[in-house]
Amino acid sequence: MINSYLQQAQLSADTRLISAELTALEQALVSTSLPEVRWHYQIPQLGEGGACSLFGYLQDEPFKLTAYVTNNEQTHTKLANLQAIVNYIQQQTGVDWYGIYQTHDTAQGKQLLKLAYHGAPSRPLFPLTADFAAGSNNVQVALSKTGRIINNVEQYLSQGGEYYTCDPKVKSEVCLPLFNRSGECVGIIDAEAFHNDFFDEKVLAVLIACCIKIPQFLV
């Protein structure tokens, strides 16, 4: 399972460390009460053309997840488990921002839909198009099915890397694909930190372990 994920995401990591983190995550999910589901959440205003968020400016109306997924008992339980994973990651790593996105068919085409997160408000949908991928690390990972570890955003940008700036405080970011049993990319996770070189071997092991578990709870 772990080796398969690393191969699909084209990543190199300590499999024994990931295995230990996966066991710890599964134990935590069993022993922890499920948190509340965030069906509505605040999102930033978008700039001209909708390409960029206006950092610090929120839309008056919250984003309604119920417009995209059905609010029933089964979905509620899955989303609660996803939020529990988000909370677990923040507690274990101290990451400043973390989100789980699922690929979703919308009236505007296939997009990444944010299901659960920790941190500042951020955009809820990312168009899965080649044009948007040119400036979006998230979309690039979803389309390429390849994980990205950026421990110095400024350096990454100076080298011409694709990057969508939401919070200017972010100095490090990891974006990893999520796979179903058929090996299809069905979403991504995004983790951000406010200083360089945040994502060491230990933190990456936690993130990868969660990527292996998350697809069980996608809606």
Average pLDDT score over the chain: 92
The model's confidence at residue 52, banded by pLDDT at 50, 70 and 90, is low
CB within 8 Å of 214: residues ≥ 6 apart: 82, 85, 100, 178, 187, 189
Picking from 66-80, 108-122, 124-138, which range would have the lowest pLDDT averaged per residue? 124-138
Amino acid 51: pLDDT: 55
* Burial class of 175 by CB neighbour count within 10 A (0 to 12, 13 to 18, 19+): buried
- Res 135 pLDDT > 90: no
- Res 164 pLDDT > 70: no
More confident residue, 156 or 201: 201
- Res 102 pLDDT > 70: yes
Give, rounded to a whole angstrom, the gap between the first and last alpha carbons of the chain: 21
Strand partners, 164: none
Amino acid 57: pLDDT: 83
Q: Structure tokens of 112?
A: 């990444």
- Res 78 pLDDT > 80: yes
Average confidence (pLDDT) over 46-65: 76
Picking from 23-27, 55-59, 176-180, which range would have the lowest pLDDT averaged per residue? 55-59
The model's confidence at residue 90, banded by pLDDT at 50, 70 and 90, is very high
Average confidence (pLDDT) over 32-54: 81
Average confidence (pLDDT) over 175-182: 96
Whole-prediction pTM value?
Answer: 0.94
The model's confidence at residue 136, banded by pLDDT at 50, 70 and 90, is confident
- Produce one character per residue of 193-207: b if its CB has 16 or more CB atoms within 10 Å, e if not: beeeebbeeebbbbb
Domain enclosing residue 73, as ranges: 1-218
The domain that contains 145 carries what CATH number?
A: 3.30.450.40
How many Cβ atoms sit within 10 Å of the Cβ of residue 133? 20
Count the domains in the chain.
1
- Res 166 pLDDT > 90: no
- Res 205 pLDDT > 90: yes
Residue from 100, 76, 102, 75 nearest 86 by CA: 100
